[in-house]
Structure 1
Amino acid sequence: MAILLDEVRWGMIGCGAVAERKSAPAFNKVAHSRLVAVTGRSAEKAADYAARHGVPRWYTDAAKLMADPEVNAVYIATPPSSHAEYALQALRAGKPVYVEKPMARRYADCLAMNQAARDAGLPLFVAYYRRALPYFLQIKALIDAAAIGTVLAANIRLVQAQRPADRNPKQLPWRVIPDIAGGGYFYDLACHTLDALDFILGPIVDVTGHCANRGGLYAAEDTVAAAFRFANGATGSGFWCFAAAESCRDDSVEILGSAGALRFSTFAFTPIVLENVAGTRQFLPSNPENIQLHLIEAIVAELRGLGRAPSTGETAARTNWVMDAICGHLG
């Protein structure tokens, strides 16, 4: 969708943890981009964030931020349950949208967001920043260069221990409340790996899964197993558990090919290991201080008519579809 801005002036809805270092500071580090306004759940929170980060204006009402003539693009940094509502409002206000991941609580919401973007003739981006990180670009480059031959399969394992915050039933983190997050930590974390594989290997087109709660600390799933097939014919499997012993921790992805294998991690950024007939090699590209910087650079470039960003509402909706299919939420 074509839109041309000389300078991208961001208004940010929400000022929680993700905005402290991962995303918001990058808006002012990218050329032709500025963070000009922010909203928070309270006046105190919004004013504090604005003062600490040098943001000129703050609001407690997202509608007022969207109506601000200085704001010409909106970043939504709230929990998933409000992503669709705010995205629809911003698009109707004529402003491009950059929304946190997962794109929405449910796949149906993603479809509504994409339709609204098409109706408005505006772009919609999603914060799957791994698509722009040198680490994952290196993996994609090796796959595209057939360094492991024809891709046969991809296997995911993410195993974590229970978190202390999960043991307080009266004050559970929003990430394990399905009405807010869509599910549990699976929705919050698995989406990163699934979207990265969509970027590296192409879309998943068929998937089955099983979800369970084995830890008993909250209602959301904490153990998930899935099998899937990519459009290119490769198969895959995934196992995610957030209730295991500390000694069981694992963060690994393996892509098997007809001539070798690639092994890497989603969150730990351990060295990428390539094994093929030439032997074993390792790669470890560095990450920017603000992890979303490169994706924001690409988004700003697209909004200025100078390129295309790799993470859109269309690509991100596919990841929601996979998660909802695994957990039986497609209805």
Structure 2
Amino acid sequence: MPTSTLRVALNGVTGRMGYNQHLVRSILAIADQGGVVTADGDHVLLEPVLVGRNPEKLATVAARHGLDHWSTDLDSVLADPTVRVYFDAQATSARESAVRAAIAAGKHVYAEKPVASSAVEARGLAELADAAGVRHGVVHDKLYLPGLVKLRRLVTGGFFGRILSVRGEFGYWVFEGDWQTAQRPSWNYRAEDGGGIVTDMFCHWNYVLEDIAGAVRAVTAHAATHIPTRWDEGGQSYPATADDAAYGIFELEGGAVAQINSSWCVRVHRDELVEFQVDGTEGSAVAGLRDCRVQHRSHTPRPVWNPDLPPQEPFRHQWSPVPENAQLPNGFQAQWEQFIRDVVAGTDHVHDFHSGVRGIRLAEAGLLSSREGRRVELDDVAAAQR
């Protein structure tokens, strides 16, 4: 079984997302399965080099998993010719300069989203990476989750006919941090530190909508800060200056309309933390992180509105599950494997920095729409940023 080793610098894996999803459930999980299998049948083993600012945290993580290489000196890691890939999961405000340095060092670059603090900065990184001839990618993990994989299969198979609409619900209650510890870091709720649910989630919704129903052409959004005061990791109160909920209407190429609610101030009454319902002329589907259920035109019941009687139909039971048809890994791991295959083969990664630019542009358009109380066309925003 031919094998090769690819050294990967991982910056920001002492944080929650970087550690859980990228180090443990992706890089180390890939090692446990014997590497990434390429199109030629070779196995590429990944050797992680941990990078960060806190030596104690890095040493603890390295010791926990038996890793030999870690450093607080990013420049020296980037200068090492044996390190071929750089990954960044730092706070957004620190990402652009580090990614720029990695590109200058000739590294292939994979990054969490948003890849930069603005679409202009992200476009600059994309152009630099193109000019340097390195592979570049942005995390689009939702597309690799089982529920969305099944939904994409339905789209490819023509199940929906003409897609009419998409409705999405995302979110859960994030505790304020005073009487129960918050599930998310405090910087998420400070605009000055790059926080905000629009900046965080509209980047996701852009690529999900592109993949399922069409590119976003215009947005009308309302962003809100429902919880004005929160408590940080040290138990100190602070003013929440970033939006913690967003309500968006997205007009898509081809005429479909999407409505997506995103909130860290909502209690969950649905099967999964995120769900998308797609309605088309021939059928509908509801997809979450793992499951997907469908109702075809031929099986659609005929409800009749009658508020004087209790519900007579078991609506949820009238939908059929979409089968797995394949064993699907963790979504983050699946995209990591695809990115490594692209690096080895020298092919462009489909979810590249240019895709990341479009995601940030949608977030910026959403914030502009909310701020000015109007519909914003994405082409106008793109033209203004050139």
TM-score (norm 1): 0.87
What's the C-alpha RMSD, in Å, of the aligned pairs?
Answer: 2.8
1:194-213 C-alpha deviation (Å, 9 max, x unpaired): 32222222321222212122
- In structure 1, the residue matched to 2:279 is 256
Match of 2:345 among 289, 299, 305: 305
1:47-101 C-alpha deviation (Å, 9 max, x unpaired): 2222222332111121121112221110111111122111111000000101012
Helix, strand or coil for the counterpart of 1:199? helix
Pair 1:198-2:218 in alignment: no
- In structure 2, the residue matched to 1:139 is 151
- In structure 2, the residue matched to 1:230 is 252
C-alpha displacement at 1:177, in angstroms? 2.1
C-alpha displacement at 1:10, in angstroms? 0.3
Pair 1:184-2:196 in alignment: yes
Pair 1:127-2:139 in alignment: yes
Are the aligned partners of 2:210 and 2:216 in contact in 1 as well (CA < 8 Å)? yes
Residue type at the aligned position of 1:176: Y
Helix, strand or coil for the counterpart of 2:116? coil
Of stretches 45-54 and 191-200 in structure 1, the one that deviates more from structure 2 is 191-200
Match of 2:71 among 59, 62, 70: 59
Match of 1:173 among 163, 186, 210: 186
- State the alpha-carbon separation in 1 of the partners of residues 274 and 63 from structure 2: 37
Are the aligned partners of 1:212 and 1:221 in contact in 2 as well (CA < 8 Å)? yes
- In structure 1, the residue matched to 2:355 is 315
Are the aligned partners of 2:78 and 2:102 in contact in 1 as well (CA < 8 Å)? yes
Helix, strand or coil for the counterpart of 1:22? helix
- In structure 2, the residue matched to 1:11 is 9
- State the alpha-carbon separation in 1 of the partners of residues 348 and 143 from structure 2: 12
- State the alpha-carbon separation in 1 of the partners of residues 178 and 73 from structure 2: 30
What is the percent sequence identity of the aligned residues? 21
Of stretches 172-181 and 92-101 in structure 1, the one that deviates more from structure 2 is 172-181
Of stretches 26-35 and 118-127 in structure 1, the one that deviates more from structure 2 is 26-35
Classify 1:205/1:93 alpha carbon distance in 2 versus 1 (closer, same or farther; 3 Å).
same
- State the alpha-carbon separation in 2 of the partners of residues 146 and 172 from structure 1: 41
Classify 1:311/1:317 alpha carbon distance in 2 versus 1 (closer, same or farther; 3 Å).
same
Residue type at the aligned position of 1:312: D
Are the aligned partners of 2:147 and 2:290 in contact in 1 as well (CA < 8 Å)? no
Classify 1:162/1:301 alpha carbon distance in 2 versus 1 (closer, same or farther; 3 Å).
closer
Residue type at the aligned position of 1:310: V
Are the aligned partners of 1:50 and 1:57 in contact in 2 as well (CA < 8 Å)? yes
Pair 1:211-2:223 in alignment: yes
C-alpha displacement at 1:245, in angstroms? 5.0
Helix, strand or coil for the counterpart of 1:165? coil
Helix, strand or coil for the counterpart of 1:33? strand
- State the alpha-carbon separation in 2 of the partners of residues 275 and 220 from structure 1: 39
- State the alpha-carbon separation in 1 of the partners of residues 63 and 364 from structure 2: 39
Equivalences, count? 321
Structure 2 residue ranges without an equivalent (≥5) = 37-43, 230-239, 300-318, 372-380
Pair 1:94-2:106 in alignment: yes
- State the alpha-carbon separation in 1 of the partners of residues 252 and 47 from structure 2: 38
- In structure 1, the residue matched to 2:22 is 23
Residue type at the aligned position of 2:71: Y
Structure 1 residue ranges without an equivalent (≥5) = 1-5
- In structure 2, the residue matched to 1:163 is 175
C-alpha displacement at 1:284, in angstroms? 5.9
Of stretches 43-52 and 129-138 in structure 1, the one that deviates more from structure 2 is 129-138
TM-score (norm 2): 0.75
Are the aligned partners of 2:202 and 2:359 in contact in 1 as well (CA < 8 Å)? no
Classify 1:210/1:77 alpha carbon distance in 2 versus 1 (closer, same or farther; 3 Å).
same
- State the alpha-carbon separation in 1 of the partners of residues 253 and 7 from structure 2: 38
- In structure 2, the residue matched to 1:3 is none
Helix, strand or coil for the counterpart of 2:204? helix
- State the alpha-carbon separation in 2 of the partners of residues 263 and 187 from structure 1: 25
Are the aligned partners of 2:202 and 2:362 in contact in 1 as well (CA < 8 Å)? no
Are the aligned partners of 1:83 and 1:103 in contact in 2 as well (CA < 8 Å)? yes
1:180-224 C-alpha deviation (Å, 9 max, x unpaired): 33x323433443343222222232122221212222121111221
C-alpha displacement at 1:251, in angstroms? 3.2
Classify 1:250/1:14 alpha carbon distance in 2 versus 1 (closer, same or farther; 3 Å).
closer
1:119-147 C-alpha deviation (Å, 9 max, x unpaired): 21112111112333343222111012121
